[in-house]
Each structure stands twice: as structure tokens, then as C-alpha cells.
Chains A and B, each alone.
With several copies, the nearest count.
Chain A
Amino acid sequence: MSYTPNDSESTFNVLQPTIVRIDRIVDESKTTKSFFFNGNIEYEPGQFIMLWIPGLDEKPFSISYHGKNFFGITAACKGRFTRKLHQMSVGDILGVRGPLGRPFTIQKGNACLIGGGVGMASLATLVDRLKRGMIIQGAKTASDVLFRDRTGFSGMTVYTEDGSAGEIGLPTKNLETIYKQFGVMTLYVCGPEPMTHAVFEFARRHGLPMQASLERYMKCGIGLCGQCSCDGLRMCLEGPVVDRETLETLSDFGRFARLKDGRKVAIEEYLQVRT
């Protein structure tokens, strides 16, 4: 990595935000919007960007749409930052730093993509890239389901907690059945950590290859501050995508995450905190 020459507004880099203008906003679900920007960012599925609302804050997001001269992110409305984001309009500006982190490594053979909630955003460009494999989405209710009409997603299986769309239950519900039917497959996972952990136990049971994207609180995004650590790995640099073998070594996985001040708390507590 080298220091950023502050001399160009048009190249994306990891040390300084580059300004983009919102080109188009799409409602993906009741609580989720996609924001589209012009610009050519080198991005591999599974990586992330830091999105800056000038004067407010900077937070990590996956790129959910990626083309030669545009890209988009899909954001759920959760707290202070995403609320502000959802209020923004076409023409408003945002800063983008990235691409950051390690992407999914695409494996040969059968693929099974399992996304929970807005974790689906991280898998979306992987769907575009793979052009094969099974897609499983878990959502709260029918009005939370993402990308139902998106090209490439026609075969997606949906699970909702209340059964208002697709099948009732968690997206991990039928994994054993699927395995019996299709045999060895690579699992690509992004979602709430309890879900990821359930997939992990399934994968370990059957010795299946698996890659999961883990969310940890991100600050610098470039491996400097140590904030995003999960055991001895920095999720902004050695993650957010890690493979099953690595997950096996992580004692924090599925159990602990660090708050903004670095305190290590139970993952359930972490997921509830608003900043």
C-alpha cells in the first residue's frame, strides 16, 4: 500500500474517501434501499467499502451491484447512520473508501449461497459472478425479502420467520436434505452470526468447504487500529471472509464481538447495541 496522493477525485483508494454522487435509489424492501453511484471500483464479491456521510460517520457496507462504470450498495435502516442514509436523495454526495478486506474465493463444483437479512447484499455480486449454485435467503417477513426479481435470482429459495413468504423457518432448516440430494458443495454464507454458526456446524459435520463473511465493528478498515479483531485476526484485513478451517480456530466466532470501545461482549449483546 502507498500513501494517497490527494490529487485525484476519481480513483478509489483505501486511505481517503472518494466522493460519489447518488445516481439512483431503489426500494428493495420495506426497510432496505439500494443506492447507485457512478464510478469504476475494483471489487471482488465479499469485500467491503467504508461509506462516509461527510460530517456524520463512516460505516462498512458490501457492494451489492457492480458494473463497469457503476456500483450500488444495499442498506437496511438500523440506527443513526443508516437512517440518515435513507433520508438522502439522488444528487447527494457520499464518500467511498475501498475496496477493503478479503473476498470470497470461488471454488469449483456445487455452490450453495446462504444469506440472512441484509447479508444477502454481500452475496449478490457473488451470485452475479458464479452464475450457478443454489441461493437461499432468510428474512423476517415477506416485506423484508431482497432481490426477488433480480436477474439470476429466479431459483432462490426464501425462508421467512413468520412464513409470510416462501417457507416458514430459518434458512438453515433444510440443509441436511439438500446435502443428501446434491452431495458435496461449497457453502458461501453471510448473515447474522448465529445463522452463520449454524451453517458452520453443519459444514463441519459433513466436512464441507465453507466461506463466511463475519461482521465486526470497523473503524480504520486498514488493519491499523485492531478494533475489528476476532481472536488474532483483523476482520477488515484477514476477513471479513474466512474459510471453515479458520472459523474452527476462532474462539470468538459465534460467541463474542467487540463494541466500539473495544469491550468484548456476547454476540447477542453486540448485535443489539445502537451507536
Chain B
Amino acid sequence: MAAVDLSTELCGIKLRNPTVLASGILGTSNALLQMVAGAGVGAVTTKSISLDPMPGHNNPITVGFEAGLLNAVGYSNPGLHAAIEEFKNLEGMGVPVIASVIGRGVGEFIKVVEGLWSQGFAAIEISLSCPHTPGFGMMAGQSNPHYTRQVVAAVRRVTSIPIFVKLSPETPDIAKVAVAAEEAGADGITAVNTMGPGMVINIEARQPVLGFKMGGVSGPALRPIAVRCVYEIYKAVRIPIIGTGGVSTGRHAIEMLMAGATAVGIGTAVCISGLDVFSAVCREMEEWMEANNVSSVQELIGTAHELYPE
């Protein structure tokens, strides 16, 4: 059969394959994004950018457990001004670059997006969903339909590039938030951020390991939750979804696509399996697609919603 076509399209953004580097993993500098681009990813996302520099939480910021990873980075980032300096010449990257943006309020979101969007980013990702940083995301109640509508509408007015909204798996009715985002003008949804928070206690020390005591859970533990979120969002909206959470193999990526994702975010697996994870996932997808007579990614998206056998 003809070669398999892994390319996909996110609201007009062409991706050579559906893998996307998730925000917060390696996305601190142009040079690191470049390295990931070289490893065969379809698109990359920057570490979330806030108006002011944030030192983040004290170490440890990550801790592993038998089924995944906890992190409480605390959105450490050098702030808008430094980000403008850092993320330049994005065309040279060879893959689309998505800017992840956070804010303590609508005003901050607007300022950061105003400052950033014309740097050459392919899209803005508005993260409303971190579970472990006071003032932001879940800890500020940002992941609800009302707030989502407000932020997206406001940001919509200051940029003409596509807007993605990144949601938390802890949102009680995630599809409603996605609908609010779509109605307010978002071009896509990223689902999901880390879940929890969770906690790992070292029993010899009798202390939570993370500097912030609790942190968002990512990796294998998160995967079925992320798949269900994507499935529910796909039923509710028409805009594309970047399905993110626990993906580390081609089979996982295909599962996300079948649930309704148009592209697949990968974060934690970059650390556990190394940068090769992107090309490995693509190779495994190709192999499966060839064996199952599927010639393009388009033929997979949302297929788990069709009733079987007829």
C-alpha cells in the first residue's frame, strides 16, 4: 500500500506528524525547542509564560512513583520580557511553536499575549489548569465556563493567531468548559494538564517529598483520564483537540486520536523514554496504520465514537 500520511492540521496549522511537545517540558529556551524539533516532533510548546518572572517552588519539584510522575514546578519562568528576548526567529525552528501563556487575571493574560503573539508563534495556548501554583489555574478557580469565556474573549481581541485553551482533568464538567471556550472564540482545546494534585510521602523522612508538598500527576496514571476527557470534549465541540496525558507509544497516540484528538501532546515520556519518544511514537503509528490499512491520521480521529458493529 501507499506510504502512511502522518500529517495533521490544527485549525490551519500544518503538522508533519501529530506529536506535540507539551508545555513545561524542555520549553524554556529556543535552543531546547530546536533540539526537540530535531528529534522529529510535529510541533512544540513553550514553558508557560507569565507577566513577571517567577522563581517557582523549591526543590524537589518532581517525584516519581510506581505509575507516573508528580511535579510542582510552580510555573517558574523568566517572565514576558525575557520570553520576548528568548523566543525569536521561530521560523528557523522548522516546526510550529505554540506559546503557552498564564496569568493571575484577565489583565495579565492580555498583557502577555499582546507582548508575545507577533513573535512568530503559530498559536497561543492559554493554560487555565495547573493544580499546584497559588494564584493560577485550578488554585485560582480558572477552569470553569465563566472564567474561560472571559479570558478567551479578552485574548481574542488582542491577537489574530489561533488560541488554544488548556483544560484540567479535574474540571467537574470539562465538556462545558470546552464549549465555553469555543463559543468565546477559541480555535482549539488542549486536554489535559496534570491531575490531582497528588502527594508522595517519604516514610523514612515522614515528609512529603515535593517542595510544595503536593503536585500535579502526569504520565501513565493520567492516561485513561485524559482519553475520557478528550472523548467528552470531542462530543461537545467542533474545534480540534490536542490530546495530552500519559502518551508514550504509538498505540497510545492512536487511542487519543480515536477518542477525538487531532494532535497528541507528549510530556513526561520525554523524560522517561528520552527525546527519541517522538520518532518512536511516529514509527509505531506508521506500523500500526500500515498493518491496519489506514493511510492517514484523518481516518482515525474520533472513530471510537462510531458504533460497532454497525
A–B interface present (Cβ within 8 A):
yes
- For A57-78 the 0/1 string (1 means CB < 8 A from B) is 1110000000000000000000
Q: Cβ of A226 and Cβ of B29 under 8 Å apart?
A: yes
Determine the residue in chain B with the shortest Cβ distance to A232: B31
Neighbouring B residues of A118 by C-beta, 8 Å: none
Chain A's closest residue to B250 (CB) is A7
B43 within 8 A of A: no
Give A18 Cβ to nearest chain B Cβ, in Å: 8
B78 at the interface (CB under 8 A from A): yes
Contact B79 A263 (CB under 8 A): yes
Q: Which residues of B contact A244 (CB under 8 A)?
A: none
- B11 an interface residue at 8 Å Cβ cutoff? no
Decide yes or no: A57 and B67 within 8 Å by CB, A19-B204, A260-B76, A263-B79 being known contacts.
no
Chain B residues within an 8 Å CB radius of A84: 309
Select the stretch in B1-9, B49-57, B108-116 that faces chain A.
B49-57
How many angstroms between the C-alpha atoms of A58 and B61 in the bound complex? 9
| Interface contact B205-A262, CB-CB below 8 Å | no
Q: At the interface, yes or no: B209 with Cβ under 8 Å from chain A? A: yes
User: Would you give the shortest CB distance from A195 to chain B, in whole angstroms?
Assistant: 25
Q: How many A-B residue pairs have CB under 8 A?
A: 170
Does B59 make an interface contact (CB < 8 A)? yes
Q: Are A2 and B61 in contact (CB under 8 A)?
A: no
Partner among A50, A95, A229, A263 whose Cβ is within 8 Å of the Cβ of B205:
A95
Distance in angstroms between the alpha carbons of A233 and B182 in the assembled complex = 38
Give bound CA distance, A227 to B56, whole Å.
11
**A1, chain B: closest CB distance, angstroms:** 5
Does A222 contact B29, Cβ atoms closer than 8 Å? no
Main secondary structure of the interface of A (DSSP, over half): loop
Check if A54 is an interface residue, CB within 8 A of chain B.
yes
List residues of chain B with CB within 8 A of the CB of A225: 24-26, 28, 61-62, 73, 76
Which chain A positions have C-beta within 8 A of B161? none
Q: Assess the B26–A224 pair: CB atoms within 8 A.
A: yes
| A31 is an interface residue with CB less than 8 A from chain B | no
Partner of A16, one of B26, B55, B59, B65: B65
Name the one of A9, A52, A92, A232 contacting B60, with C-beta atoms under 8 angstroms.
A52
Complex: A97 Cα to B200 Cα, angstroms: 15
List the B side residues contacting A19 at CB < 8 Å. 202, 204-205
In the complex, are the beta carbons of B76 and A227 less than 8 A apart? yes
Chain B residues proximal to chain A, CB less than 8 Å: 24-29, 31-32, 34-35, 47, 53-56, 58-69, 71, 73, 76-79, 82, 86, 200, 202, 204-207, 209, 211, 219-220, 249, 251-252, 255, 268, 270-273, 307-309
Query: Can you list 5 contacts pairing A with B, beta carbon distance less than 8 Å?
Result: A15-B65, A84-B309, A219-B76, A225-B26, A262-B28
14 additional contacts (CB under 8 A) given A3-B69, A54-B207, A226-B32: A4-B64, A7-B251, A9-B251, A16-B65, A50-B60, A52-B205, A52-B209, A58-B59, A95-B209, A97-B60, A226-B25, A226-B26, A227-B28, A261-B79
- Sorted from nearest, which 6 A-B pairs have the closest CB atoms? A15-B64, A232-B31, A226-B28, A19-B204, A58-B59, A54-B205
